[in-house]
Amino acid sequence: MESRMPKCKVTVIKRLLNKDLLEEYAEDKYNNVPACENFKEGQEFIFDPNLAEIPKGFCHWAWADIRNNITTIASGGNILGMKHKGTVLAGCSDWFRPVIFKIERVE
């Protein structure tokens, strides 16, 4: 019998815009960019780790940043310090326009 990992739900919690960092470190042409346009707060994605596919419409860069957290949660792991077992917060590494995700195991 094949062992299947539970699905994970990835929810967009917050999109941020660090204008101070943009002004100090980015080229001027980037100073007026908006918060990440790939996601909206409250948007949800269901991921089946057994298929090893990125959910349709999910940013590939953000996926690369959070996939280790997804694997940990999907394989039954828990993150130290989190109030709710089977849940973790993770973010993409665009520190000018980061997005914070909640990843939770769906039993």
Domain boundaries, the chain: 7-106
- Residue 27's contacts (CB-CB under 8 Å, 6 or more residues apart) are none
- Residue pLDDT, tens place only, 66-82: 999 998 998 999 999 99
Rounded-to-integer distance, Cα 23 and Cα 1, Å: 56
Confidence of residue 57 (pLDDT cuts 50, 70, 90): confident
Structure tokens at 74: 């999907």
pTM comes to 0.90
Task: Give residue 2's pLDDT.
Answer: 56
- The C-alpha atoms of residue 44 and residue 11 are separated, in whole angstroms, by 4
